[in-house]
Structure 1
């Protein structure tokens, strides 16, 4: 809940080249939405920090609108094909069991997503594959998943139709903690990615990230 001080005005949202307020973009949002961030290598989810935190802020807005005190965390999850998993707790993906280690490929990933009834799915924009899913598995996902977005570790995707900007440096600091994985302290590839992330956000007053709204069918090829 450390991020509950964020407000809609911390985000500048451009949807299909049209500026909209955070409140407008999240019109009709319910605090029962369940976001799933697919980050196969653990670290790449930092490229979606603006979108994740915009959703987190919308979640807390529902409690603020109701009035009174509250202690709550959104039912948001990260799904990673690695162990130990990177921790996204600073992005309010907490408690830590919500950072899920998935053993196996896309079919196992979809099982993990279904098991947690994900409604908003964020997937890395990468070379698509053509996994063979089970019919019942697909139908379960179709019932639940309502929105899908592609993101990239670099923070920019081709064909973007959603751009979210923020000048609140807290988001950069929180995303940076994803790399603080003791098991990867001596991993050259991991450390190189951390350095790449830091170089990309250093001395940047405004963190700008873009995303692409995609169909459920396309999301299935990117798991």
Structure 2
């Protein structure tokens, strides 16, 4: 729940087609019932969508400030791991663990079912080839009716033919990827939030158990590779990421290749 106190919109600079953009430009019509979904098909791949995810979390709290004070809830964000677990992303506040959905299949029908089940309204998918596929009856229509924004991202953090960039201008915007890529043995455990004085997930035995479980997703090379990929983006400790805004139709066609074509 550190995200609740950590981020402010002013920590990010966005641009659409090279022109300065607001949160409203990135997520038009964001409302208090929006839910952000991130499809992940590469180990630690979600790190490539760090700033888009963090901006969505900021919007979640900004649209209803009482969430930071009166009820202190976790943001409505969901990670969909395709084929298998792709490394714990729980440090981003995908918590409790049900917010990281481990789909032990790359069947596009199962993936869309899971997205629809969680009521996702803003969706980010990895930059994979488009495929024409057939979903279960009415599942595509349900997604078209509900999803208001769709994005293509790259696990590397830089997407080809991007029309949206999001930059961190405060080094705290790199806290989540740094924690995510830190081995369990190196994680320091605080018992309460310095901002709210309330217990935090990092001190929860269930959280530590989840992180340990997700360590089984990894090979020896996965963490160093992901760290190197993030480091190459940094300028003075800050990162600029790029994305493509796409139609929901295109997002679902690219979703259909998630887990099938992974560029290492």
| Residues 11/183 of structure 1: CA separation in 2 closer, same or farther (3 Å cut) | same
Match of 2:216 among 154, 177, 183: 183
**Cα distance in structure 1, aligned partners of 2:138 and 2:160:** 32
Match of 2:16 in 1: 15
Post-superposition Cα deviations, 1:70-110, rounded to whole Å, max 9, x if no partner, equal: 31122210001244453222222211111001132211111
| Residues 219/90 of structure 1: CA separation in 2 closer, same or farther (3 Å cut) | same
| Higher mean C-alpha deviation, range 73-82 or range 194-203 | 194-203
**Cα distance in structure 1, aligned partners of 2:162 and 2:109:** 27
4+ aligned runs moved over 4 Å, structure 1:
23-27, 65-68
Match of 2:252 in 1: 220
Written as runs of structure 1 = structure 2, the 5 A alignment for 1:116-127 is 116-127=118-129
| Higher mean C-alpha deviation, range 67-76 or range 110-119 | 67-76
Structure 2 gap segments, 5+ residues each: 184-213, 256-264
Per the normalisation by structure 2, the TM-score is 0.75
Aligned residues: 222
| Higher mean C-alpha deviation, range 108-117 or range 135-144 | 135-144
Match of 1:75 in 2: 76
Match of 1:196 in 2: 228
* Cα root mean square deviation, aligned: 2.4
Written as runs of structure 1 = structure 2, the 5 A alignment for 1:89-168 is 89-104=90-105, 105-168=107-170
Verify the 8 A CA contact 1:128 1:221 in the aligned structure 2: yes
Structure 1 gap segments, 5+ residues each: none
Per the normalisation by structure 1, the TM-score is 0.88
Within the alignment, does 1:55 sit opposite 2:87 as a pair?
no
**Cα distance in structure 2, aligned partners of 1:210 and 1:80:** 21
**Cα distance in structure 1, aligned partners of 2:103 and 2:73:** 26
